[in-house]
Chain A
Amino acid sequence: MRGARLVSRRLLGVVPVLAIVIVGTFFLLEASSGDAVDAYLVSTGGDRGLADQLRRDWGLDRSAWARLALFVSSLARFDLGWSVAFSRPVVEVVLERLPNTLLLMGTAIALAFGAGSILGIVAANRPGSAVDRALSLGSLAIYAIPGFWLGLVLIVVFAVQLRLLPSGGIETIASGKQGLERAGDIARHLVLPVAALGMVYLALYLRMMRAGMIETWRHDFVRAALARGLPRRQVVWRHIARNALLPLVTMLGLQAASMLGGSVVIESVFAVPGLGRLAHEAVAQRDTPLLLGVILVGAVVVIAANLAVDLLYAWLDPRVGAGPETAA
């Protein structure tokens, strides 16, 4: 009930945000050289007369406002335009690549979140101890590693030198593997890109969790719980960790956007056929409609992730929705 109210309110808030993203994308599209007709003709061929004809048919000879209206109405029909690079509708290409990126991101964020928060709890257990110093400095160093470079180093070490793992792709091509065997193959291919993409976030969550734990330790309810005779372990895990986790959860939504950005380089390094690599291909081939299609779908992914995070947060924190006082 609280969740339903929250979702409806959030969905309402999404509308203007999405509108701004769409208008922004439209202007970027307008600013780029060439239009949809040029793009279409590159892949199909045709002369000037056909171009003018198509421009009239597609409404591209009208005013900017009319073109924006056209843009929006085609979006409403899930029409993201034509990709020159692939000679196919943008939406097809994008949706084909989306699952790989979601798999990569989902695995990376889940592992980073789990491992990072647990290591953060460990580090905060005795602030200033050798374990804490090692974890803190280590995480700061990892936090400074450029992900794409880490990817290259991992390839050199694990694929080139040790020959333990594949250096790229999402699965072995034309291996004919099925079911569990195929899943295992995909998992092997995911290890290095997930590590390259997720390591920074692991470090980030570790640092945030550590800081949150130390901060929460100072709260009165912790002192009170110990004074009531609860064992320290129980206080740490059931009370401090649970409260310290809350700010990390709110960060998850924001991280969806930054991770999607990070997947561009990581997918390029590991040749993972995902949304990020698609963005790079679009830029390399000057395929602006395709790039903007990736951005729009990416924005929708981020919005969906944020919505999911809000629900998760509301479930974890009963205070959400109780709401602060506002003037009537």
Chain B
Amino acid sequence: MTAEVLVRLAGAGVRYSAGLPAAIAGVSLSLARGERLAVIGESGSGKTTLALAMAGLLPAGSTVEGRIEWPAFGGAPKPGRDVGYVFQDPSGSLDPVMRVGDQLAEVAAAHGDADPHVNAVELIAQVELPDPVRTARAYPHELSGGQRQRIALALALAGRPSMLIADEATSALDPVVQKKLAELVVRLCRTNGLTLVFVTHDIALAAGLGTRIAVVYSARLAETGPAERVLSDPAHPYTKALLESHLGRDVPRGARVHAIEGQPPDPALALPGCRFALRCRHAVATCNRSEPGWAGARDDGAACILPAGMLR
């Protein structure tokens, strides 16, 4: 399979300013057209930084180490046109004093749409909101959290981008609303042939969405690979621990649940070894001494010294 590569990272890292520790470092992976990549990590892991870097939306003043390339876009992606981005907070990403239809039309017009107001209504229909004409006249505060996030999704699609990045786009919502929205995102990507990057802290949500998975931990890429392989045969102990600590509806009340003891290291702390070593059940002496190399292929491997198949 040699689908066109949209974004390629080679040893990429990001620092928000010179004095700060790297928010993410040493990431190598690539994303081809039509793929859906779920980026999993907890707060402070650097998953949002990774998403912003892939979207070419890093704030001014941040520095990029290594290489980030967008072969299909011929240079950095044009915001809105090449990449659509949905932020986490559904109430914060809309202008509170402008009708949502006008906001949609504004973005559509900025990308050369000749008939932006008609298109705004179509976009609202596309994100499956009821009564699009009426919804277009609503102000953000008149909509529910889920409805606002659908509008944010429509806004991200208004420039007809080929890549969509959803950064914890569903985490602030109720589980029921979250599920419906996640399904809508996948459906829209399928029908429009969009490439998706879906950032989440929930590995089970990621499992239902992604064709590929990347797991980040404490500013490092821990593991990446096809979703099926990562879920059934994790190569990094952190991925394995995340899978075990998932609480599905089938885990009965018991004495205890699976937990990862300890907590992630302070990002400012320079560690010579693997950043997960202190919490890792499989850690050996070398893990604390030197950072593990990448094992496996670039888009299917893990940053761990354990032999493949060990954790199955």
Which residues on A are within 8 Å of B, measured CB to CB?
A: 219-221, 223-231, 234, 238-239, 242-243, 246, 316-319, 322
Interface class of chain A by DSSP: helix
Q: Which of A221, A318, A319, A322 contacts B93 (CB 8 A)?
A: A221
**Interface assignment of B116: CB less than 8 Å from any CB of chain A:** no
Which secondary structure characterizes the binding site on chain B? loop
Cβ-defined contact, A316 with B97, below 8 A: yes
A227 pairs with B95, CB closer than 8 A: no
Residue of B81, B87, B98, B158 near A223 (CB, 8 A) is B87
- Tell me the smallest distance from the CB of B108 to a CB of chain A, in Å: 10
For B89, give its contact among A220, A227, A230, A231 (CB under 8 Å): A220
**Across the two chains, which residue of chain A brings its CB closest to B81?**
A229
- Evaluate contact between A221 and B80: CB separation under 8 angstroms: no
Tell me whether B87 and A243 are in contact (CB under 8 A).
no
A229 to B80, CA, bound (A): 5
User: How near does chain B come to A252, taking the closest CB pair, in angstroms?
Assistant: 17
- Choose from A224, A230, A231, A246 the contact partner of B97 (Cβ within 8 Å): A246
Which of A219, A224, A238, A322 lies in contact with B85, CB distance below 8 A? A224
CA distance A246 to B96 in the complex (A): 12
In the bound complex, do residue B93 and residue A242 qualify as a contact, i.e. CB atoms below 8 Å apart? no
Contact in complex: B80, A228 (CB < 8 Å): yes
> Which of chain B's residues have a CB closer than 8 A to the CB of A224?
85, 87, 92-94, 152, 155
Number of interface residues of B (CB under 8 A): 29
Asked if B111 lies at the interface with its beta carbon under 8 angstroms from chain A, I say yes
Report Cα–Cα, A231/B112, bound state, in Å. Answer: 12
In the assembled complex, which residues on chain B have CB atoms less than 8 Å from the CB atom of A319? 96-97, 139, 141
* B79 at the binding interface (Cβ < 8 Å): yes
B203 within 8 A of A: no
8 Å CB interface, B144-173 against A: 152, 155-156, 158-159
The 30 listed contacts between A and B (C-beta, < 8 Å) are A219-B92, A220-B92, A221-B94, A221-B95, A223-B93, A224-B87, A224-B93, A224-B94, A224-B152, A224-B155, A226-B79, A227-B57, A227-B85, A228-B79, A228-B85, A228-B156, A229-B78, A229-B80, A229-B110, A234-B110, A238-B106, A239-B98, A242-B98, A317-B97, A318-B97, A318-B139, A318-B141, A319-B96, A319-B141, A322-B142
- Asked whether B7 is an interface residue with its Cβ less than 8 Å from the other chain, the reply is no
Q: Which residues of A contact B94 (CB under 8 A)?
A: 221, 224
**A28 CB to nearest chain B CB (Å):** 43
| Cα-based distance from A231 to B85 in the complex (angstroms) | 16
Q: How far is the CB of A186 from chain B (nearest CB, A)?
A: 37
- How many angstroms between the C-alpha atoms of A228 and B84 in the bound complex? 6
Interface residues of B in 211-229 (CB under 8 A from A): none
Cβ of A223: which chain B residues have Cβ within 8 Å of it? Answer: 87, 93
Q: Which residues of B contact A227 (CB under 8 A)?
A: 55, 57, 79-80, 85, 87
Do B110 and A221 touch (CB < 8 A)? no
- B80 close to A220 (CB less than 8 A): no
Nearest-neighbor residue (CB-CB) of A231 within chain B: B110
Known: A230-B107, A242-B97, A319-B139. 5 other contacts (CB 8 A): A224-B93, A224-B152, A229-B159, A242-B95, A243-B96
| A residues in contact with B152, CB < 8 Å | 224
Give B residues with C-beta under 8 Å from A.
55, 57, 78-81, 84-85, 87, 89, 92-98, 106-107, 110-111, 139, 141-142, 152, 155-156, 158-159
Residue of A nearest to B161 (CB): A229
Bound-complex Cα distance A36 to B156 (A):
72
Cα A221 to Cα B98 with chains together (Å) = 11
Q: Which residue of A lies closest to B159 (CB)?
A: A229
CB neighbours (8 Å) of A219 from chain B are 92
Residues in A whose Cβ lies below 8 Å from that of B158: 228
Task: Please name all residues of chain B whose beta carbon is closer than 8 Å to the beta carbon of A318 when the two chains form the complex.
Answer: 97, 139, 141
With known contacts A220-B89, A227-B79, A228-B159, A239–B110 Cβ distance under 8 A: no
CA distance A318 to B142 in the complex (A): 10
CA distance A243 to B79 in the complex (A): 23
CB contacts (< 8 Å) of A228 on chain B: these are 79-80, 84-85, 107, 110, 155-156, 158-159
Known: A228-B156, A229-B78. A243 touches B92 (CB 8 A): no
Chain B residues within an 8 Å CB radius of A225: 95
Q: Contact: A230 with B80, CB < 8 Å?
A: yes
Return B58 CB to nearest CB of chain A, in Å.
11
Closest to A230 in B: B110
A141 to B107, CA, bound (A): 41
CA distance A318 to B98 in the complex (A): 8
**Smallest CB separation, A230 vs chain B (Å):** 5
